[in-house]
Amino acid sequence: MAKSEPVPERRQIVHVDLDAFYASVEQRDDPRLAGQPVIVGGPSKRGVVLAASYEVRPFGVRSAMSMADALRRAPKAIVVPPRFEAYVEASAQVFAIFAEFTPLIEPLSLDEAFLDVSASFELFGSGVDVATRVRQRIADEVRLNASAGIAAVKFVAKIASDLAKPNGQLAVPADETEQFLAPLPVGRLWGVGPKTEEVLRAHGLETLGAVARRGEAWLRERLGPAGAHFYALSRGLDPREVEPSRQAKSVGAEDTFEVNQRGSAALEPYIHAQALRVARRLRRSGLRGRTIVLKLKTSDFQLHTRRMSLPEATDDGQLIFRHALGLLHDFGLDRPVRLTGVSLTNLDDGPDQLKLIDAGEKKAQRLNLTLDAIASKFGESSIRPADLVDVNVEDGPFDDVRGQIGATRGLGGKKPQRE
């Protein structure tokens, strides 16, 4: 095996993860929820759990679980609708604290980030010192708990923070990395899903230590290039840097219906609303996109997508809707639909290309700016096209480009939920 690039002797990566973030924000803001089993999600049993407080987890409730399953396990749990604005505000406060310790911050979502604090020793001490101070600042100023992992590489720091939960921190010295990883189950390896885990276990590889002992050649022979990847991680070899300039790959919005919808005509208003939400989010983030993606999930849970690329990037909702409508008609629907989603990829945050803008495009730009100003002052539902009178047009809790996650809303005026 070619030797991996050596990790700098004093390299320190801190992974910080807020504990049960959405649920903790709800418990913080409503004293009646303190110490209670709280589930954040929409009221529909067809939705999923967005967050579960630690009080409800002993019942087996976890995020991404179906709401129906969660309520069967914990029928007395308190279900709270998500409040995106509160989560964004808390996240901004937390990331402002991060920035006081290092500029090398790689956000993974609203509530999770890697920090490279290798150059901060003189100012703030070791990675352990930084993690301690960051967590204390978050507790004092944002009134939330966070866990942290400290290690020489990202992979190990992430595992350490997971093991430190809730409200703890765990440091793994560089020279103890392999010893730390050896007893952990193979499912901890990045890139190992249920099927790959089954294959590894079939070969007698139950732990990361067992993977490391097999050697790269043996793993590569049976698993291909992935074998080399798993071997490196099992030994804690992870040369990836913290990337503070991570940019969203897509901006999207999707909706799970309370009742399955049949036919293109029934879906059009919802796709229109999604297109407008995506466009509004693009404009807020200073982004434009060239490739439009339309996603449908039919009643048999089959997922179907269509996409098309525009000659130039756009942030105009009506333009996105018109092209998404064309994609919709390409599907040839023959069964009911339970979910639709619109997203834009091939994002561009640069200035518009110098060109002659026709009067129609200038008018659309002025209209969008006016609509944004009205929505900002009076709310997203204050003005909307006629076909969206009965459709939810507000940004959902996942209309966020930082985490590269699409929005999911319960429709017909329902609260947000995630598929």
pLDDT at 200 over 70: yes
CA–chain centroid gap for 66, Å, is 18
User: Does residue 38 or residue 393 have the better pLDDT?
Assistant: 38
Beta bridge partners of 345: 250, 291
- As given in the structure block, the two tokens for residue 290 are 């060239």
Strand residue runs (E) in 262-376: 288-298, 303-314, 337-348
Percent of the chain with pLDDT over 90: 53
The pLDDT assigned to 388 comes to 52
Instruction: Average the pLDDT over 212-236 and give the result.
Output: 90
Amino acid making up residue 140: D
pTM (2 d.p.): 0.65
Inter-CA distances, 373 with 61, 194, 275, 366, Å: 41, 47, 18, 11
Alpha-carbon distance of 167 to 61, in angstroms, equals 19
Tell me, yes or no, if 89 is annotated catalytic: no
- As given in the structure block, the two tokens for residue 100 are 């006081």
The pLDDT assigned to 367 comes to 53
Alpha-carbon distance of 1 to 62, in angstroms, equals 40
Strand residue runs (E) in 73-204: 78-80, 105-109, 112-116, 146-151, 169-171
Q: Which of 106, 112, 258, 380 is catalytic?
A: 112
- Mean pLDDT (the chain, rounded): 82
pLDDT at 62 over 50: yes
pLDDT at 230 over 80: yes
Neighbours of 92 (CB within 10 A): 11
Sheet holding 407-410, edge to edge: 303-314, 288-298, 337-348, 250-261, 407-410
Residues 6+ away with beta carbon under 8 Å from 202: none
The pLDDT assigned to 371 comes to 56
Please give the angle made by the CA atoms of 296, 190 and 303, to the nearest 5 degrees.
10
User: Does residue 122 or residue 113 have the better pLDDT?
Assistant: 113
